[in-house]
């Protein structure tokens, strides 16, 4: 009888324990890196926002006025009793568990530097809860509308700011002439050609644009009087924005009143932007920020108010704004001490300094935006072009086949070349041999474009490969040529995938430091660059420079704020890429 | 549909449109050719300055010299790469001690144990590890990891040390090992696993004795890629490891056998090939001087090493792949 219950059979012992241990060890290994990074991120956030000095009352106030209403909104959007109960349990139970657990660790093991149990609760319980309710709510109509509106608000303003920053290095009067004499007539001719199907208009538009550009460059030194920068922005960007926004609404077949409302409000906002004073952006460029924000919101609103469900979501920005104001009011009235934050609006809009209290990241942010703008154009064009050749023109055999294979192997090897070697390429070729200068935007942008080129090519190739062959065959069957097929069928279909890949690659470029050091980018510049040929700094360069400062305030305050700024920009870029990809997947 | 539309205009393929077609093909070919030109330009720039360097400094002195001082104050220039190689090897091996086992276990967990939902969450999260800018990792190592290690495990750790830099490089390269290895493990056909279960093997035995050997070529090639990445890593070591090109102290055991105490290299500041390049770039960029050229000699060394490792990993992945 005893033999049957014995695990030791003639097949040998079957050890469950060993298997279980192995499973949990490998699970632990999968998360150990993530946990380490999470701990480091918590510390850098605590330092950047000075949360270690935050009083519990301050944390409680904002928790009640911002976080709780936000979670409430998400729960309302989901509208599921069981889910609400689960979230409440997590928040309440988490409070007890963190308070008890944290105190136990502190008494038994030792103090945990710069953390309190309230902060631990904030990061270990509240943040994951907020993330998960956001994720669940984003699939419901109310949440979708609310997050969509917030996204338009932030996205429009951020894009507007980025464009405004790009204009720092552009000669505004020249741009005014080029736009008036070249861009505007060319666009007009092209639009006319679309309506009349006249074959030669594309060529004509190109010629007119080119002539306009040449005339503008000739006229630039001759003409003496130009409108103010604000008016130039309004004429060249504000009005096209308003027309474009109205056009999108019109294409959706909205009523004439709505088209006029969106166009008019965008124009009005852009005009009001002239008056908007700002310490950081150059004079008048508020036009682009307000115009882009209102255009994005307006276009979204005309869509959202007609939706069958989820209109309540439009109140989310109001809810958050009221919450923030209420929190600030309570803090003021009760006299709660506010923590000493490092990452503040002044930090983002002022120049670096040798004293920690005055140090800012503004020139580095401007440098990064301009460099990434140039890199985006260069690497997208080159990456897509190379990918189109490799996927659409390449053959398996013959000379072209051999060339294609060579390109393919070469790209795979380029992707593995260390970034510091690309820095040497930039130094030897662009800075010294071609004389583009040390640390200029041109040198840096060219170097970074070549650095991320393999990544953009590979991701664009994947996007092109995912276009089903039936579409191409269908186009050829209609008598289209190869270029017509690529232009009208393949590229539009692959565009979201290629955009996603390029944005992810740009995320890599924005954090690169080693090549920038090699080509002589400035570690610290005290004012925004004046042109693309002046010496640039960038966010990672500034972090690198500050990390060497021995003072505590720099190490744990100023640099932490810089790191968090960089990470927020990265998060925004990658988030945009993921949203584009998800939308693309939903459409197919 | 009017009658005029029915008669197809088959003669439209004029000279202009043919010209347009080949013109666009040419544009795309040019874009693709730029990727090749990049390689040519890298090799060209590295070689031209490196060859000049080697005409001044004999290549044997460069490869065997044990003193690296490109910015002399008072004494003569000396270009011996050995201390830099020792620093690079120290960092790479220590990082590999983190990345290879953790990455392999992660790959096994993802491919064999994780449910579909867990994998869908864990895989993109792991990619974040590789997406954090390296200068940020360097800052973490210098400002958080080193003080934490000093307070707990190693009280005599220097402010700048190889250990915390290597730890961060290890964490950064985990996803490189795990994602390539996991691809290889997922490619192992289920019939092999079923055969293992049919023989009475447990899940643990199937994972370690069937799946891992069957995907070994992929795992090894991921190791080589991760190590090559660690060798070329720059900013983490620049920020956290300092810049002291020292030869490690050679101690002797009681029996007279020489050895190097790992603590001597790990707990102290050191210098890798990449750090010395950045250090020289911080001083002199205009060209023409010997330190400037030495940068390119170092870059060439780095380029050749990573290229060889990349080709090696490719060969292993191709040649030793089990075809199913």
Express each pLDDT in B199-247 by its tens digit.
988 888 899 999 999 898 889 999 999 999 999 999 999 988 877 777 7
Residue A513 lies in a domain: yes
User: Are A411 and A459 contained in the same domain?
Assistant: yes
Express each pLDDT in A475-506 by its tens digit.
999 988 888 899 889 998 898 889 999 999 99
The angle subtended at Cα A20 by Cα A14 and Cα A23, nearest 5°, is 125
B48: chain A residues, CB-CB within 8 Å: 428
B232: chain A residues, CB-CB within 8 Å: 417-421
* B-contacting residues in A 13-72 (Cβ below 8 Å): 14-16, 18-19, 22-23, 25-27, 29-34, 36-37, 40, 43-44
Query: Domain containing B232: what range?
Result: 68-319
How many separate domains does chain B show? 1
Over residues A461-468, the mean pLDDT reads: 91
Q: In the 8-state DSSP scheme, what is residue B271? A: -
| Rounded Cα gap, residues A140 and A78, in angstroms | 6
User: Are A199 and A253 contained in the same domain?
Assistant: yes
Q: How confident is the model at residue A341 (pLDDT cuts 50, 70, 90)?
A: confident
Choose the closest CB to A386 out of B21, B32, B144. B32
Residue B99 lies in a domain: yes
Express each pLDDT in A397-412 by its tens digit.
778 888 888 888 899 8
Residue B81 lies in a domain: yes
Q: How confident is the model at residue A457 (pLDDT cuts 50, 70, 90)?
A: very high
Express each pLDDT in A353-378 by its tens digit.
777 777 788 888 888 999 999 999 99
User: Are A419 and A482 contained in the same domain?
Assistant: yes
Best residue in A428, A446, A578 for a mutation probing chain B (most B CBs within 10 Å):
A428
Residue B149 lies in a domain: yes
Q: What string of DSSP letters covers B139-161?
A: HHIIIIIHHHHHHHT-TT--SS-
Q: What are the start-end ranges of the H helices in chain B?
A: 3-6, 15-56, 59-64, 82-108, 116-131, 134-140, 146-152, 162-186, 190-198, 203-206, 212-214, 216-232, 235-240, 262-266, 273-283, 290-319
User: Are A268 and A401 contained in the same domain?
Assistant: no
Contact B39 A410 (CB under 8 A): yes
* B-contacting residues in A 497-526 (Cβ below 8 Å): 507-508, 510-514, 517-518, 520
**C-beta separation of B46 from A429 below 8 A:** no
Contact A563 B136 (CB under 8 A): yes
Which residues, at least 6 apart from A461, have a Cβ–Cβ distance to it below 8 Å?
A387, A390, A391
**C-beta separation of A541 from A525 below 8 A:** no
| Rounded Cα gap, residues B92 and B166, in angstroms | 7
Query: Domain containing A28: what range?
Result: 1-48
Report the mean per-residue pLDDT for chain A: 85
Residue A334 lies in a domain: no
B203: chain A residues, CB-CB within 8 Å: 19, 23
Q: What is the ipTM of this complex?
A: 0.88
Contact A22 B274 (CB under 8 A): no
The yes-or-no verdict on residue B105 having pLDDT over 90 is yes
Contact A33 B174 (CB under 8 A): yes
Query: Would you state the pLDDT for residue A461?
Result: 93
In 3D space, the residue among A389, A358, A399, A369 whose CA is nearest the CA of residue A554 turns out to be A358
Cβ of residue A272 closer than 8 Å to a chain B Cβ:
no
| Rounded Cα gap, residues B272 and B242, in angstroms | 10
Strand partners of residue B260? B250
User: Are A159 and A255 contained in the same domain?
Assistant: yes
User: Are A242 and A292 contained in the same domain?
Assistant: yes
Q: How confident is the model at residue A5 (pLDDT cuts 50, 70, 90)?
A: very low
Domain with B245 in it: what CATH number? 1.10.3720.10
User: Are A357 and A297 contained in the same domain?
Assistant: no
How many separate domains does chain A show? 3
Residue B76 lies in a domain: yes
Choose the closest CB to B38 out of A23, A414, A512. A414
Residue B168 lies in a domain: yes
Residue A564 lies in a domain: yes
Contact A418 B129 (CB under 8 A): no
Residue A128 lies in a domain: no
User: Are A301 and A357 contained in the same domain?
Assistant: no
User: Are A304 and A354 contained in the same domain?
Assistant: no
Residue A423 lies in a domain: yes
For residue B255, the distance in angstroms to the closest alpha carbon of chain A comes to 40
The yes-or-no verdict on residue B18 having pLDDT over 80 is no
Cβ of residue A400 closer than 8 Å to a chain B Cβ:
no
Contact A416 B306 (CB under 8 A): yes
Domain with A538 in it: what CATH number? 1.10.3720.10
What 3-state class would DSSP assign to A303?
Answer: helix
User: Are A224 and A284 contained in the same domain?
Assistant: yes
Return the residue of B nearest to A456 by Cα: B35
Residue A118 lies in a domain: no
Residue A358 lies in a domain: yes
Contact A390 B27 (CB under 8 A): no
Q: Which pTM value belongs to this model?
A: 0.88
């Amino acid at each position: 009888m005893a033999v049957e219950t014995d695990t030791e059979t003639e097949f040998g012992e079957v050890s469950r324990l060993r298997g279980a241990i192995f499973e949990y060890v490998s699970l632990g290994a999968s998360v150990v890196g993530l946990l380490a990074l999470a701990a480091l991120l918590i510390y850098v956030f605590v330092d950047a926002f000075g949360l270690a000095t935050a009083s519990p009352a301050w944390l409680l106030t904002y928790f009640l006025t911002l976080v709780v209403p936000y979670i409430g909104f998400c729960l309302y959007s989901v509208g599921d009793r069981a889910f609400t109960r689960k979230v409440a349990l997590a928040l309440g139970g988490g409070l007890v568990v963190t308070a008890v657990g944290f105190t136990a660790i502190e008494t038994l093991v030792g103090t945990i530097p710069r953390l309190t149990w309230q902060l631990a609760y904030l990061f270990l319980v509240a943040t994951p809860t907020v993330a998960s309710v956001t994720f669940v709510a984003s699939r419901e109509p109310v949440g979708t509308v609310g997050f969509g509106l917030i996204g338009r608000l932030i996205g429009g303003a951020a894009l507007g700011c980025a464009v405004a920053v790009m204009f720092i290095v552009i000669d505004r009067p020249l741009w005014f002439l080029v736009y008036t004499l070249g861009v505007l007539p060319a666009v007009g001719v092209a639009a006319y050609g679309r309506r009349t199907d006249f074959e030669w208009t594309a060529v004509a538009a190109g010629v007119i644009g080119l002539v306009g550009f040449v005339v503008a460059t000739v006229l630039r030194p001759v003409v003496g009087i130009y409108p103010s920068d604000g008016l130039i922005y309004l004429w060249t960007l504000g009005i096209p924005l308003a027309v474009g926004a109205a056009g999108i609404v019109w294409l959706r077949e909205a009523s004439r009143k709505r088209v006029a409302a969106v166009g008019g409000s965008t124009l009005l906002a852009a005009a009001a932007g002239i008056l908007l004073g700002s310490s950081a952006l150059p004079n008048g460029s508020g036009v682009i920020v307000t115009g882009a924000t209102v255009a994005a919101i307006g276009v979204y609103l005309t869509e959202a108010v007609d939706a069958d469900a989820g209109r309540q979501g439009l109140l989310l920005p109001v809810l958050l704004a009221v919450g923030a104001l209420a929190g600030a009011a309570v803090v003021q009235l009760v006299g709660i001490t506010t923590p000493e934050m490092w990452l503040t609006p002044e930090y983002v809009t002022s120049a670096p300094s040798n004293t920690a209290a005055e140090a800012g990241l503004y020139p580095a942010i401007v440098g990064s935006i301009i460099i990434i703008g140039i890199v985006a154009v260069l690497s997208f064009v080159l990456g897509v072009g190379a990918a189109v050749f490799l996927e659409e023109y390449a053959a398996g055999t013959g000379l072209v086949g051999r060339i294609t294979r060579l390109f393919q192997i070469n790209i795979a090897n380029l992707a593995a070349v260390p970034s510091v070697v690309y820095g040497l390429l930039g130094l030897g070729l662009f800075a010294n041999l071609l004389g583009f200068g040390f640390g200029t935007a041109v040198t840096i942008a060219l170097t970074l474009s070549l650095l991320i080129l393999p990544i953009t090519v590979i991701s664009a190739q994947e996007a092109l490969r995912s276009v089903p062959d039936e579409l191409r065959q269908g186009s050829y069957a209609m008598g289209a040529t190869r270029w017509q097929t690529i232009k009208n069928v393949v590229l539009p279909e692959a565009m979201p995938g290629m955009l996603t890949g390029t944005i992810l690659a740009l995320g890599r470029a924005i954090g690169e430091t080693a090549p920038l050091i090699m080509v002589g980018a400035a570690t610290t510049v005290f004012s925004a660059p004046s042109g693309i040929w002046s010496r640039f700094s960038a966010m990672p360069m500034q972090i690198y420079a500050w990390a060497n400062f021995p003072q505590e305030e720099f190490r744990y305050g100023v640099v932490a704020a810089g790191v968090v700024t960089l990470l927020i920009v990265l998060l925004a870029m990658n988030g945009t890429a993921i949203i584009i990809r998800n939308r693309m997947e939903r459409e197919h | 549909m009017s009658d005029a539309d029915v008669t197809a205009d088959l003669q439209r393929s004029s000279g202009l449109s043919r010209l347009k077609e080949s013109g666009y093909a040419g544009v795309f070919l040019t874009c693709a050719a730029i990727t090749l030109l990049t390689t040519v330009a890298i090799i060209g720039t590295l070689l031209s300055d490196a060859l000049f360097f080697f005409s001044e400094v004999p290549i044997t002195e460069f490869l065997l010299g044990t003193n690296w001082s490109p910015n002399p104050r008072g004494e003569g220039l000396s270009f011996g790469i050995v201390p830099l190689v020792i620093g690079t090897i120290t960092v790479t091996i220590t990082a590999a001690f983190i990345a290879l086992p953790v990455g392999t276990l992660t790959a096994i967990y993802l491919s064999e144990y994780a449910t579909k939902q867990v994998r869908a969450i864990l895989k993109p999260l792991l990619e974040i590890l590789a997406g954090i800018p390296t200068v940020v990792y360097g800052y973490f190592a210098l400002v958080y990891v080193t003080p934490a290690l000093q307070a707990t495990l190693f009280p005599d750790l220097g402010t700048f040390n190889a250990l915390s830099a290597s730890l961060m490089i290890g964490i950064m390269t985990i996803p490189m090992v795990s994602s390539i290895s996991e691809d290889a493990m997922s490619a192992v056909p289920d019939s092999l696993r079923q055969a293992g279960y049919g023989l009475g093997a447990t899940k643990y035995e199937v994972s370690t004795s069937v799946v891992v050997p069957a995907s070994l070529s992929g795992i090894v090639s991921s190791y080589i890629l991760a190590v090559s990445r660690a060798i070329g890593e720059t900013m983490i070591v620049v920020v956290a490891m300092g810049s002291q090109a020292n030869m490690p102290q050679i101690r002797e055991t009681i029996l007279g056998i020489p050895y190097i105490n790992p603590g001597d290299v790990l707990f102290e500041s050191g210098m890798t090939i990449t750090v010395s390049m950045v250090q020289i770039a911080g001083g002199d960029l205009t060209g023409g001087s010997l330190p400037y050229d030495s940068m390119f000699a170092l870059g060439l060394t780095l380029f050749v090493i990573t290229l060889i490792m990349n080709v090696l990993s490719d060969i292993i992945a191709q040649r030793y792949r089990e075809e199913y």
